[in-house]
Structure 1
Amino acid sequence: MRRRLLVLSTVALSFLLVALIVPLIGTYASDRTQDLFVIRQADLNRLTVVAGTAVETGSVASLRSELARYEEVYDARLVVVDADRRTVAASPGELDPAAVPREVSRALAGNSAEEPQPFWPWSADTYVVAAPIGRDAQVLGAVVMEIPTGGVRGDVAARLALLLGAGLGVLLLAAVGVAVPLVRWILRPVDELDDATRRMAHGDLSTRVPADDGPPELRRLASSFNDMADHVEVSQQQQAELVADASHQLGNPLTALRLRVETLSAKADADVAAELDLVLRETDRLTRIVDSLLDLGQVEAERAPQVPVDVADAVRARCRVWEPAIADLRVDAPPRATALATADLVDVVLDAVLDNATKFAGGAAVEVTVAEGSRTVDLVVRDHGPGIPDEDLSKVGARFFRGTRHQNVHGTGLGLAIVRAHVAKSGGELAVRRPDGDGLEVCVTLRRPARGSSAAPPDAARAAT
């Protein structure tokens, strides 16, 4: 958009300059043409007097000498014809009167030469004028002159080049001094809106834009964006508070219910106690679901900042914690791989994904890989277990989803949903896919910090945990 506005403004300035240059160069060309015509017309009138005497007396020697000197000085060919169009005398250039019948006829009709149109650099090299030779009311002949236009055309070309050069200079100064600042002023609110939209899409609901800069239409758009952001933030906060309140309100009755069931189980006989144990397990499961919902609500409500995190170092540290639980845990990470994320994101991702691997991979090997790209860092966890059916693959990560093969496995179905919420808050992406061979692969893609970023260093992110 910036380029299009600059092009449009430059084109508009170009049209304005052309509108100024055309009249100026047109006036200059007309003046130079008229000056040349007036001078040559005066010379032509003088030569008609000399030619009239020669035609009447028949003595043309002096006339030929005069025509030769004139051609030598002004490079203009001349010819004198009588009333019957016969050549009386001519300059050495030998201008053929038959080649210019219109001008000869006009002069023999007693008409003076007509003023030419302005000479331009692309005009003809010469221009022909003719004047009648007469005594009283009788036309005795005509003097025909071929005038070179090179001098005038050269002057007009030089003036045109000067004006075009000056116009280009003015255009450049206007583009730098007027068009660029004007476009920047117009688009500054658009750039701010674009940046704010990206930040909001990455989870920063506190983003706002200045509404007091730029054209009135964009100021209104900025105000509307801020109002929308306020409503989205309030709505998100209310939703998170609702989940948190509901989880908290459910937590207390569940705790009391568990205590009552435990009390009854302690006093009941074996058959009743076995049934009550089933009630206790379902109560524990419901409690875990409530706790997970509370965690999910907190993730969506919190405004954790994105900081540079050394993903490789965080992966090595967290995998050391999981080594006792996974016999064959392999880690492949470079010495350092920095990405933008919340401070605890790597721990949350590995805890959820490795916990799933211990439950669903059946003791198979698990590989944790950190790979760096030009703009991203990938954290990939792959297990070599049985995997999941193709029809379930697109549903993994949805809230409360549990695979058809794992309905009886301990869990709430919210682990990857919580991971997805954390990854989205960090501006990253989560993908679940089936790799070649067996097992399941979970890939988290995070953005690398921009060069020259003033964000906190990775050590600060580790310290925050």
Structure 2
Amino acid sequence: MALVLLVLEVPFGFVYARSELNRFSNTAELGAVTLAAVCEEKLEHGLASDLPELARSYAQRTGSSVIVIDRSGRVLTDTVTSAAVGRNLSSEPDVVMALRGRPATGISEDVAPGGKVLFATVPDTSNGPTPCVVRTLYSLAPLAKKVHATWMALVLVAVGVLIAVALVGFVIARWTTRPLRALEQATTQLADGRLTDPPAADRGPPELRRLAASFTRTATRLQHLLQTQEAFASEASHQLKTPLTALRLRLENFEPHLAPCAQASLNEAIGEVGRLSRMVQGLLALARLENSAITPENVDLDAVVAERASMWTAFAAEQSVGITVTGANSGRRVWAVSGALDQIIDNLLSNALHVAPPETTITLAIAAAPADGGRMPAMVELHVIDQGPGMNETDRQRAFDRFWRAADTHHDGTGLGLSMVQRLTDASGGDVTLLAAQGGGLDAVVRLQPVMTARLRRTARRTPS
């Protein structure tokens, strides 16, 4: 709208100013011609003494100054000053043109002191030699004032139009964005796990009404699916445990009645039932994790690592494997979902114990990954390092896929442990990667966001950039 007003009003303002100047010039020239005819008549009748009064009367009526010049170019009368009478103006361009019978009009700063004036210098209307010339001078101040007033009116009109358009736009914007804000709030509620205030489908433009109705249907369907999945996760844990346990007991009851040659097959069947039971438990745990609303909490990383290492030491000792902890005395605290650190460490230690050869050591190392410039820790790293066979690059990239197990694996894992580690780490705002350990083995690196204590903030402020 501002551009439209600019394109329309600016040319109109210039055209108006030019037309007013032309009209003013034409009026001044026409009046000068009429006065010149009267002065000619006075001179023909020998009434030259009437010229001063005639000129003063015309000047007062029109707001101009008048100079009457004879055919030789000498001033006969001047309404501004009587001292100019007798002065020769025959060399001035407008007077020269008028003495030759051609009128001259325009704007000049030379014909009169005090700035720009509009002059109209015209000869009389006789067909013979010009007996006199009349020069009228007009101040441009009234014309400039009128043009400025017009420009001001145009500006006020433009401002009024812009204000009206802005108000209309504001009303339309609120009408349009209010449903969007409702959709934003509903999306936030749905992301938090429960849509309690669905957006109204009868406000705003038709497109947003249809969007709100579609969103409400989608959210309702998603909540129904989530509720169904939650119900399945809670019921399946009870419904699947019983038949799997009964199946295992029945298989074990077959043992006294089987021939020795079938003992190996029975042991394999019992092992597969156990693996199936653990797989079901893992799937249910993942389902519960994905359905729950999780918020990271302030957790003492050192304390959790020390506790889990102490608990797993006895199991590791049965396989002649040692567990050591390094870097656990720095008092680091991290953000993690409640109980996530325990499950992450348990799954990583369980995987490490399955592949760790006897007489080797599993290392739990805590370190800080420096941010840009090394001013403060950007992430806190927990390394679980074993001395097993390790993995190649392809296997390390696929290790977090559900149910994936390496082709050369010899243990009865379910392929869900690392998937759960990745899910818990992501929910805590961190990430997990698998690297090749120095000297062989696997280095599982869990990165978590540190909690900035007052001591760390003071240290960061004192550290030079």
TM-score, length-normalised on structure 2? 0.65
- Identify which of 297, 301, 305 aligns with 1:309: 297
Give, in angstroms, the shift of residue 55 of structure 1.
Answer: 7.0
Q: What is the alpha-carbon distance in structure 1 between the residues aligned to residue 42 and residue 69 of structure 2? A: 12
Q: Indicate the percent of aligned positions where both proteins have the same amino acid.
A: 23
Cα 1:226/1:352, change in 2 over 3 Å? farther
Contact residue 371 and residue 379 of structure 1 kept, 8 A = yes
Matches within 5 A, 1:401-440: 401-405=404-408, 407-422=409-424, 426=427, 428=429, 430-434=431-435, 437=438, 439-440=442-443
Cα 1:352/1:221, change in 2 over 3 Å? same
Residue type at the aligned position of 2:93:
D
**Counterpart residue number, 1:225:** 215
Give, in angstroms, the shift of residue 283 of structure 1.
Answer: 1.6
DSSP 3-state at the match of 1:363: strand
**Counterpart residue number, 2:151:** 160
Contact residue 134 and residue 141 of structure 1 kept, 8 A = no
Q: Which moved more, 1:86-95 or 1:151-160?
A: 86-95
Q: Which moved more, 1:242-251 or 1:230-239?
A: 242-251
After superposition, the C-alpha distances for 1:336-370 in whole angstroms (9 at most, x for unaligned) are: 7575x653334433333343344446633222457
Residues 1:216 and 2:206 are matched in the alignment: yes
After superposition, the C-alpha distances for 1:42-67 in whole angstroms (9 at most, x for unaligned) are: 57744652355347759699669969
Matches within 5 A, 1:224-243: 224-238=214-228
After superposition, the C-alpha distances for 1:293-330 in whole angstroms (9 at most, x for unaligned) are: 22222233x342x445114x2x3342232122262223
**Counterpart residue number, 1:50:** 39
Q: Where does structure 1 lack aligned partners over 5 or more consecutive residues?
A: 1-11, 108-112, 117-123, 450-465
Residues 1:396 and 2:376 are matched in the alignment: no
Two-structure CA RMSD over aligned residues (Å): 5.3
Residues 1:328 and 2:331 are matched in the alignment: no
Q: What is the alpha-carbon distance in structure 2 between the residues aligned to residue 284 and residue 222 of structure 1? A: 49
Contact residue 51 and residue 80 of structure 1 kept, 8 A = no
DSSP 3-state at the match of 2:382: strand
Q: What is the alpha-carbon distance in structure 1 between the residues aligned to residue 44 and residue 437 of structure 2? A: 111
Give, in angstroms, the shift of residue 393 of structure 1.
Answer: 2.4
After superposition, the C-alpha distances for 1:384-443 in whole angstroms (9 at most, x for unaligned) are: 3354211122212211112345x113421112223444456x484644243785743444
**Counterpart residue number, 1:363:** 361
> Whose RCO is larger (CA < 8 A, sep 6+)?
1
**Counterpart residue number, 2:460:** none
Q: What is the alpha-carbon distance in structure 2 between the residues aligned to residue 142 and residue 332 of structure 1? A: 111
DSSP 3-state at the match of 1:365: strand
Q: What is the alpha-carbon distance in structure 2 between the residues aligned to residue 385 and residue 129 of structure 1? A: 107
Q: What is the alpha-carbon distance in structure 2 between the residues aligned to residue 267 and residue 228 of structure 1? A: 57
Q: Which has the larger radius of gyration?
A: 2
Residue type at the aligned position of 1:366:
L
Give, in angstroms, the shift of residue 221 of structure 1.
Answer: 1.0
Aligned length: 409
Residues 1:344 and 2:345 are matched in the alignment: no
- Identify which of 253, 259, 262 aligns with 1:263: 253
DSSP 3-state at the match of 1:434: strand
Matches within 5 A, 1:11-410: 12=1, 15=4, 42=31, 45-46=34-35, 48-50=37-39, 52-54=41-43, 80=69, 87=73, 89=75, 95-97=92-94, 105=102, 126-129=117-120, 133-134=124-125, 143-145=134-136, 147-157=138-148, 160-161=151-152, 164=155, 168=159, 171=162, 175=166, 179-180=169-170, 182-193=172-183, 204=193, 206=195, 209-211=198-200, 212-238=202-228, 249-266=239-256, 268=258, 272-300=262-290, 302-304=291-293, 306-307=294-295, 309-311=297-299, 313=300, 315-324=301-310, 325=312, 327-331=323-327, 339=335, 342-360=337-355, 363-369=361-367, 378=379, 380-385=381-386, 387-405=390-408, 407-410=409-412
Contact residue 40 and residue 131 of structure 2 kept, 8 A = no
Q: Which moved more, 1:236-245 or 1:257-266?
A: 236-245
Q: Where does structure 2 lack aligned partners over 5 or more consecutive residues?
A: 79-83, 108-114, 314-322, 453-465
Contact residue 343 and residue 421 of structure 2 kept, 8 A = yes
Cα 1:132/1:368, change in 2 over 3 Å? same
Contact residue 302 and residue 332 of structure 2 kept, 8 A = no
